[in-house]
Chain A
Amino acid sequence: MTDAAAGPRPAVPRGYDADEGVTGPYPPTEEMLAEPIPEEVRQAQEDRLREVWKEPPGWRYLSAVNNSEIGKWYSLTAFGFMLLAGILALVMRAQLAVPDNDLISANRYNQFFTMHGSAMMFLFAVPMFEAISILILPAFLGARDMPFPRLSAYGFWCFVIGGVFVMGSLLFDAAPDAGWFMYPPLSTKQGGIGADIWLLGLSFIEVASIAAAVELIVGVLKCRPPGMRVNLMPLYAWYVLVVGGMILFAFPPLIAGDFLFELERGFDWPFFDPERGGDPLLWQHLFWIFGHPEVYIIFLPSIAIAAMVVPTAAGRPIVGYSWIVLSAVGTGFISFGLWVHHMFTTGLPTISLGFFSAASEAVVIPTGIQLFAFVATLMVGRVTLSLPLLWIAGGLAIFTAGGLTGVMVAIAPFDWQVHDTYFVVAHLHYTLFGGMVLPVIGGVTYFYPFFTKKQMSRRLGLWSFWLTVVGFNITFLPMHLTGLWGMPRRVFTYPGGLGWDWLNLLSTAGSVIVAAGILIFAWDLIRPKGREPLTERNPWGGGTLEWSHDVPEEKWGVRSVPYITSRYPLWDQDKIVERMDAGRYYLPDAEEGHRETLVTSVIDARPLQVLRVTGPAWITMAAAAFTGGAFIFPTFHMYPPAIVSGALAILCVIYWLWTSTAQIPEKSTKDIGLGLSVPTYVSGPRAVGWWGMWITMLGDSTAFASLVFGVFFYWTAGTDFPPADAAHVDWRWSLMAGALGLAAWAAILLARTTNRGGRPLPAAAIAGAGAVAGALAIWAFITALRLPGLNPTSHVYPAMMWALGVWTIAHLGAGIIMLLYCAAALIFGKATPTHDAPMWNVSLYWHFMALTVTVTVLVTAFLPRGL
């Protein structure tokens, strides 16, 4: 195949008009691509690119923000946390090896199982997906970097600080010990700071996860190479899109839950205290609305890795591309309808259980389609059983067993027996080991030459594989029976004589074998390979763009950004690697000395903009450290330092935006090669920043919706919500607050149009006025809550009203900062009538604020009066 025109219908639109900034021929013709590049030009281009993309030397290396460095640190850190959590598991297995053992105390055991689960979920499984995606997604997409490199770096440092804080608590015997699910009232009523550490440390990491999700979604939507239409995207990119979207809708309910939880722990607002109208079940709902999609957030990326490895192993394109896309999207949706299957024994009406039982069975169908599509691909191809494929095959064998037990536990009556027993422990480890750990190891083995130009050892790999798989089954297969024979989970000991003795001993023996397997893998991963020959560029014969890379020698990613006409360009497009290397495609140069990547349109990936991405910086690390302070100080009830730290974090972020993101390029368009010239600055929906804001606010609104759900939940769950004689929020002040909030929204819209009309200073004044209106709205909201004397510690009803108020007030505060930022940007020339991206992004924020403010007014001041 040579060019895009090879379809039955001629591609109608050709080229762009001059006046919108994109000029020149597009798509490139074969003749244009065939034209050679003079050697000296090529040399000069390479030197400039190398200079721009080189990593900072010496200790400054830590200030790197490039996706390849951040991705590498991120995945190694996550792997390190996995090993730590694995050690906890081994100690627990040792404790359970024999009945009535007293190797570790009950208290320590409870800390260990809590941290094992929490770390595996929050510090390994989810971050690992983000880390691997940050590391390899740009390569799949022929992009030089992620759209917001400093955001990745910020997310990574948040993760490190939060992870070390939470895991470190184990050393002080102060770790959380109420289970990774932190069910109140146990977790809210018990003393100590364990629950606070869990809550704040992990909220902090959840924020980092959402940051990564925003980055990855925008990366897939806007940073694809020219020509990579939606039907040509590598399947991994589809999965990233789906999983990113799921993170965006799954984590916010938990963040909302955390918010309520900390208000109860810190200020005694009784959300989960039944004596004051609260209900412990609300936490379970919010936790599992997060928790079940989370399982798929962990599983789908590994399937995505399999979807990259399987076609390579079969030596032919995937069979059923559309089917797999459907499965990914379908699983993403349905996974949000399963959460109550973690709550089958909470006494909900059978009919409610029925819905979730049914949805839990329905989700099997898309998952099954994915597996069968892999089998079908292998069937029609000529299979080489490479080490990566072996890991993936082993993973899928284990995963299907876990899936089948999943079908069993989705049947509610059966779950009533095995819920919270070792049967479920076995089930979940089968799904997570088979659906995550093994495929990820397969993926690491597969992509290792891509990162390092070295191969992992096949001999060690086989040892590791068989030890892990055999050990795993010795550990977890007997646990099904242990559970059916009645052994509950989360017990630090058990009596002899119930038939569990030999089963547990067997499991403990198996766990040692798994540990040996994982250790061999870890050794193979980090052992020095300096003397081994470099691998060839595309050792497995893959067809996707990442194998065009020549790392680690060259840090620029792709030498030039190719024009794509196939799902497997390296298989189908003649001479593509040669031409990429020659700099024949787009962006072969860095004349201005800036790091640049190409931004394209969402559906057809037409070139839209050259995006200047940010380079190495310390400010991201400082911002992460102060954000950490804002979350960690409250653990010790040190609120003033937390507020100072939070303010400093905001200042850091503003400084970073002001000094790097808000740069106006010296020229409005740039020749990106092949005669195509595109803008260097865009604003509104064409800009990545706008998409980043849009996606962030979707997540934010989900959290807000979860709080509103809380109001309805209390109304259905109890009879005293609101209590008969309750004081209500003052509706006049509330209305006024709403009106002022909407005025601030109108102000930013007006400021944007005024600025577009060529009058930046009046626009700045309008934005400033908007900020004042926002501040007045805050004051009016506080008055509306205080005037009627709503006491949030007295009952859950006033507490819920205050929680909604606090949420909205905090968001208004952020909105005010943004308005002031816009005003300052207009005054100091960081934003101009033609360069107004901040105005668009802040307008978008305020669209969401208008919604939030309106809903808050309705739900606090009016709805309860009607209930």
Chain B
Amino acid sequence: MSLLSWLLPRKKPVLGLEQQQRLLQLPTASGLSDAPLRAQRWVVVDLETSGLHLNRDQVLSIGAVVIEDGAIDLSQAFERTLLRPNSPLNPSVLLHGLGPAAIAAGSEPVDALLDFMAFVGDSPLLAFHAPFDQHMLTRALKDSLDYRLQHTFMDVAALAPMLCPQVNQREAGLDQWINHFNLQVEDRHNASADALATAELALILFSRARVQGIDSPQALQQRLNQWQRRKQVHSF
């Protein structure tokens, strides 16, 4: 990749006819509603990537579960490993556990991403460290589908300390929160299992939010924005 490559017109991905039709049929994202929290369908997503570099690394697999009617629906879940033949083997294989064989056996990224967006529908997304997942997913969708991701993301990693201020965990990771709430997580070695753990955490947090009088997704987002602004002011 040359230094000036960003100046050149970017190559648009080539999609098959059926793929184009599927792309056109994807629903547009709807904003957060002011209906009760329970009425909102959420997609809780967890990505495995080839590394933590925002512009260089690639999405290797997508795992997601759905929170609907205030509960995790075990009949709806999503997991795809994306076919990345050129992905170099690097140390994060140790983290996500996706060996080159699994990655080479994955789905065509275009199809996998189309499947995923159909799964998401118009629902907002939840993730632990959501900005990372949001960025990686936006880039993958742009590159593979030329699709602009406009879905709202809410960060469970931010919600948790906001709603549980008594917990003295600065910059706690998913594992720390899992331990804190004593969540029984079985078999956590793939993206959908991590998504399930995040979703269980989200259910607890939604319950805490309701207790604190935050009763709609919109109100939750507003409170989160205020909290994050205040935190930034404090840190100055």
Real binding pair: no
B contact residues vs A (CB 8 Å cutoff): none
